[in-house]
Structures are given as C-alpha cells and as structure tokens.
C-alpha cells in the first residue's frame, strides 16, 4: 500500500468510521501496539515521528498513568514518544527520539517528556539527556482545572513526580536556576523602563 502511494500518516476511513476523530493514523496505532517493524517502515515512508493522537481518559488512567478526575472530559492527547515511555519500550524510544523536538512535546495535560520520565522513574542518565537537549524543568503540568492523581491541582513540576532523591535534587536546582534567571530578566526590563 505504501509503495502504491498511500500516505504513511493515512487515517482509517473505511466502513463509515473515522479515526480522525481520535486523531490516530496508522503511525500512532503502530506505536500504540509497539510494532517496531511497522514503525520503522512508516518512518521510511514519511510518517511524522512527532505524531500526536487521542486516547480515552479511562485508557489514560488504566494504561498511561495520567489520571484525570472527570471522565466526562472523555479524551487526552499523547505523542508517539510518550507511548514509548508509557510502555518502557527503549527500542521504540530510541527510534522516535529527536533531540530537537522530543524533550518539549506535551500531552494536552501539559506533561512533557521530562515529566513522564520522572513519573515512570526513568534513570538519571535519561533525565540529564533530556535537560541537555533542552527540556524545561521550570514547567508545571496543568490539567485545565481538572484533578490529577485524585488531588486538586495547580500543576506539578517534574521533580515532584519522582521518588528518586538524586533526580529531585538535580531538577530542583535546575528549576531554581530558571526562576532566578526569569527574576533577573524581569528586573532588567523594569529598570530599562
């Protein structure tokens, strides 16, 4: 089919159903099923490694560990790289990871790749790699006035999502460095005016 010209990011529109409503094309389905051979083939034929797709909040609760209090909302968005992290599939992660894009891809709940690496207790080497590639430790998750983990939320910093004290310390120092830098930038702007 690919050699016949069917786009690698083709959506299923047969039998009156459309996966465009879930925003998942063939590439996201391949990632969700962790089929690395299909993932590689679709990439060769032009599939976007940064693809995003939707899943139900119930699926997110059960499988992806991103919990929302209100299931009436119905869905949440994730990127292909996030699926690799959810499934702890290092081969898939390495196939999808891009230093330019991957560190700053977000779910619609504003979980970055760094947040998810902390949530799933990835090793400190991964955290350092994400930081070196531009991940921002100063960003909070934001659940659009919903609840995360059954508690009222104002969002979580990545360091608040891990139990590893070495990672917490690393990220806390980075977060404070960012906050201090922003403080001095604001002061500098106000001094100019």
Burial class (CB in 10 A: 0-12, 13-18, 19+), 110: middle
Which one, of 149, 134, 146, 142, lies nearest residue 103 by Cα? 134
At 155 the pLDDT is: 79
Rounded Cα distance between 88 and 176, Å, is 29
Rounded Cα distance between 82 and 174, Å, is 23
At 16 the pLDDT is: 42
Give yes or no for a contact between 75 and 107, defined as CB atoms under 8 angstroms apart.
no
At 47 the pLDDT is: 85
Residue 74 lies in a domain: yes
What's the pTM value of the predicted model, to 2 decimals? Answer: 0.77
Residue 45 lies in a domain: yes
Residue 27 lies in a domain: yes
Q: What is the pLDDT along the chain (193 residues), one digit of tens a residue?
A: 666 566 666 655 444 444 445 566 788 888 888 999 999 998 988 888 888 877 776 776 666 666 544 455 566 778 889 888 888 888 999 999 988 888 888 887 788 899 989 988 999 999 999 999 999 998 888 654 444 455 555 678 999 999 999 999 999 999 999 989 989 998 888 887 6
3-state secondary structure 82-142: HHHHHCCCHHHHHHHCCCCCHHHCECCCCCEHHHHHHHCCCCHHHHHHHHHCCCCCCCCCC
Strands 147-148 and 151-152: antiparallel
Which one, of 97, 125, 127, 123, lies nearest residue 114 by Cα? 127
Rounded Cα distance between 39 and 92, Å, is 8
Residue 6 lies in a domain: no
Q: What is the enclosing helix (H) or strand (E) of 154?
A: none
Query: What number of other Cβ atoms are within 10 A of residue 154's Cβ?
Result: 10
Domain of 75? 14-188
At 169 the pLDDT is: 97
Q: What CATH code is carried by the domain that includes residue 135?
A: 1.25.40.20
The total domain count for the chain is 1
Give 146's DSSP letter.
Answer: -
């Amino acid at each position: 089919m690919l050699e016949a010209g069917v786009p690698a990011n083709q959506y299923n529109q047969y039998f009156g159903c459309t996966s465009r409503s879930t925003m998942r094309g063939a590439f996201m389905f391949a990632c969700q099923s962790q089929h690395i051979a299909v993932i590689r083939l679709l990439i060769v034929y032009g599939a976007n490694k940064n693809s995003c797709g939707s899943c139900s909040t119930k699926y997110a609760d059960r499988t992806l560990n991103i919990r929302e209090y209100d299931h009436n909302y119905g869905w949440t968005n994730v990127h292909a790289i996030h699926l690799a992290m959810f499934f702890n599939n290092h081969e898939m992660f390495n196939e999808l990871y891009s230093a330019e894009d991957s560190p700053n891809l977000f779910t619609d709940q504003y979980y970055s790749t760094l947040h998810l690496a902390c949530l799933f207790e990835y090793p400190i080497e991964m955290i350092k790699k994400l930081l070196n590639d531009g991940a921002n430790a100063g960003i909070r998750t934001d659940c659009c006035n919903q609840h995360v983990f059954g508690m009222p939320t104002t969002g979580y910093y990545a360091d608040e999502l891990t139990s590893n004290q070495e990672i917490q310390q690393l990220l806390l120092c980075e977060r404070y460095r960012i906050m201090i830098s922003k403080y001095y930038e604001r002061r500098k702007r106000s001094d100019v005016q």
